[in-house]
Amino acid sequence: MKILTVDIGTGTQDIFLYDSNLDIENGFKLVLPSPTMMIHRRLKQSLHTRTPILLTGHQMGGGPSAWAIEEYARAGVPVYMTPSAATTLNDELDKVEALGIKIISEDEANSLSATIKRLELKDFDFELISKTFSDYGVSLNDLDAIAVAVFDHGNAPAGVSDRQFRFDYLDERIKAKNSLSAFAYLSNDIPNIMTRLQSVVDSANELPCPLIVMDTAPAAVLGTTFDSQVTTHREKIVCNIGNFHTLAFRLGEMGIEGVFEHHTGEIDLAKLESLLQRLADGSLKHEDVFDDMGHGALMYSQEKFEFGKDDFDVVVTGPRRSMFQTIDHRPLTVKNRPSSTVLRPYFAVPFGDMMIAGCFGLLAATAEILPELAEPIYRSLRGESGRGVTPWDNPA
C-alpha cells in the first residue's frame, strides 16, 4: 500500500511517500520550496523586465507570493488576475482591485497578448511531484490515497475578523470531534467556508485515488505525538512554532484540553513561555492572545497540567523551533538551558525527522478517515517493522 503525503508550509513543502512494505524510516522523502516561495522567486526574477503578468489558477498560500504580486503592482507594471486566483490576496475582490490589480474573467485571460507572462497559482501540483519522483524511477500510478495539508483561515464574511473566524471554526471542530484528526476531510466533505482546502481539491484535477486535506498545524502536532519519547506521555503540551503561526495544543486523556494560536512574528521566548504556562494551568483566555494580534485561545479543561513531573515540560516542533534553543547553538538539555528559558523543551523527531512531522500526522488522519487502510498504517506508526523488504528489493 502506498500513500503520498504533502505538508505545504510557507517556506517548504514536505513530501513523504509511505509504503507499507517498508519500515517507515525507509520511505522516500522530499523537502522542496513551497509553492508560494516558487511564485515569489519567479516574480522577483522577472520584475526588472517590467513584463505584464497574468495570474490564473486557484487560491493558494499567500505571504511570499502575495508580497511579490503586490510589489509588481506598486511598481506600476500591469497585473491581471482571474477571480479564483485573486482570492490568494483577499476573499473580497474589491480590495484586490484597490491594489491596482485588474480582475478579469477566464475568457478575457485567454484573449490577452501572448507576450504577457503567465503563471498558474496552486498549492498542490500532483503532476510536478509525480514527475519529480518519476525522474528518480519512482512511480505514483499505484497510490491508495493522497493527503495534503495547508493552512486555511477560512472565508470570513465581510466585516468579520479572519482571526476570530478561524478560532470559531477551531472551536466548532473540537466540540464536534475532540481529536486532532477533526481538522482532516475527505475531498467531498470539506466545509464551504474552508476555501483554501477546497482549492487544493479543485487544483488536483483527476487523481488516481482518494484525496484527504487537513490543516497544517494539527497535522504537525499529530505527527509529533508519534515520537518515541512523546508517545509514552498520556498528557502533554505540543507547540508547533511555524514561520508565520505558532500553535500549541494541550492534550490529555479525553483529547484536546486547550489550544492557542499566535503569529510567530508577534512573540518572543518570554511571551511564548507565558502563554504555555497559562495553557497548562487553565488560566489562558481568548482575549489574552486575540488582543495581542494573535488568533486566540480555547480552554476545555480547568484542571492543571503540572510541569516538572516528567523529563520535559513542552514538546516543540516546527521550522522556528530555534526560539527555544541556546544562544551558542549547543543542543538544549536540562543542564544546558539558558537562564531566560523557564520551561524544559523536548525537540521531537518522529521517526528521526522533524521536517516531515506533518506528513506523519496526515498519515494518521488518513487511517481514521479511510479505515480500510488503517491496519498497516497504525502498524507502521507504532514502529513495527515492514515485511523485511528494503527499497532496492521493492522498487516503487
Q: How far apart are CA 352 and CA 356, in angstroms?
A: 9
Q: How far apart are CA 36 and CA 125, in angstroms?
A: 12
Over residues 8-13, mean pLDDT: 95
Over residues 64-77, mean pLDDT: 95
Per-residue model confidence (pLDDT) at position 336 = 42
Does the structure show a pLDDT above 60 at 340?
A: no
Does the structure show a pLDDT above 60 at 69?
A: yes
Does the structure show a pLDDT above 80 at 334?
A: no
Does the structure show a pLDDT above 50 at 12?
A: yes
Does the structure show a pLDDT above 80 at 147?
A: yes
Does the structure show a pLDDT above 70 at 337?
A: no
Report which of residues 253 and 39 the model is more confident about.
39
CA dihedral 28, 33, 36, 41 (to 10 degrees): -150
Cα–Cα nearest to 396, from 147, 124, 132: 132
| pTM score | 0.92
Per-residue model confidence (pLDDT) at position 325 = 76
Per-residue model confidence (pLDDT) at position 327 = 41
pLDDT in tens, 188-243: 999 999 999 999 999 998 898 999 999 999 999 999 999 999 999 999 999 999 99
Beta-sheet pairing, 211-215 with 102-103: unpaired
Does the structure show a pLDDT above 80 at 330?
A: no
Q: How far apart are CA 113 and CA 37, in angstroms?
A: 26
Side chain identity at residue 187, one-letter code: S
Do residues 66 and 40 touch, judged by C-beta distance below 8 A?
A: no
Lowest mean pLDDT among 91-100, 127-136, 386-395: 386-395
Over residues 289-294, mean pLDDT: 95
Beta-sheet pairing, 53-57 with 79-81: parallel
| Res. 388 pLDDT band, cuts 50 70 90 | low
SS3 content of the chain, % helix, strand, coil (to 5): 40, 20, 40
Over residues 233-262, mean pLDDT: 95
Cβ burial 184-220 (10 Å sphere, 16+ → b, else e): bbebeebeebbbbbbbbbbbbeebeebbbbbbbbbbb
Over residues 269-275, mean pLDDT: 95
Q: CA torsion sign, 287 to 291 to 294 to 295?
A: positive
Does the structure show a pLDDT above 50 at 180?
A: yes
Mean predicted lDDT score pLDDT of the chain: 92
Q: How far apart are CA 39 and CA 44, in angstroms?
A: 9
- The pair phi, psi for residue 210, each rounded to 5°, is -60, 150
Does the structure show a pLDDT above 70 at 169?
A: yes
Q: From the CB of residue 160, how many other CB atoms can be counted at a distance below 10 Å?
A: 12
Does the structure show a pLDDT above 50 at 329?
A: no
Domains of the chain as residue ranges with CATH: 2-34+125-219+354-381 (3.30.420), 36-118 (3.40.50), 229-348 (3.30.420.40)
Q: From the CB of residue 234, how many other CB atoms can be counted at a distance below 10 Å?
A: 8
pLDDT in tens, 75-129: 999 999 999 999 999 999 999 999 999 999 999 999 998 889 999 999 999 999 9
Distance, CA of 250 to chain centre: 19
Q: How far apart are CA 360 and CA 317, in angstroms?
A: 13
- Residue identified by cell 517498508 is 22
| Res. 316 pLDDT band, cuts 50 70 90 | very high
In 294-355, at which residue ranges do the beta strands (DSSP E only) sit? 296-299, 314-317, 345-347
Lowest mean pLDDT among 16-20, 185-189, 386-390: 386-390
Cα–Cα nearest to 357, from 267, 227, 205: 227
Per-residue model confidence (pLDDT) at position 231 = 94
